[in-house]
Amino acid sequence: MSTGVACIAQELLDIWQRLSSQHVALATGCACGIGGVTLRLQDFEQDIADYLLAQAQRAQRSDVSTFLRRHGVDADGAAWHLGILLAALMDTGVTMCLDPDVAEFILSRLGKTLRSFAKLHG
């Protein structure tokens, strides 16, 4: 596996670590007196993972779905973690036998998503 994959994964991990704890406002106050709602970008982690899985399923890429499920969740398999996924893509032991198309599929879509967040909120 190319060191290019590891470099891109590191870049995206840096973006994610910088952005994930930031807050974003979703609404402003209204006449009812309820103020704006804020969320951390980290609150979108499950949505991002669901997007990646849906993209893999639409493209009929079971290899990508398998990689995501194997390397994108915590030890309990209960919660998605982009940091874990990106760390796996930086690990030559994991990626040595990985089809480069799998890494490209994940990194291209995740890259667009995280760079979009960075552009809007970073």
Q: How far apart are CA 119 and CA 114, in angstroms?
A: 9
Q: Could you read off the pLDDT of 32-90 as tens digits, one per residue? A: 545 566 677 778 899 999 999 999 999 999 999 999 999 999 888 788 999 999 999 99
6 vs 40: which has the higher pLDDT: 6
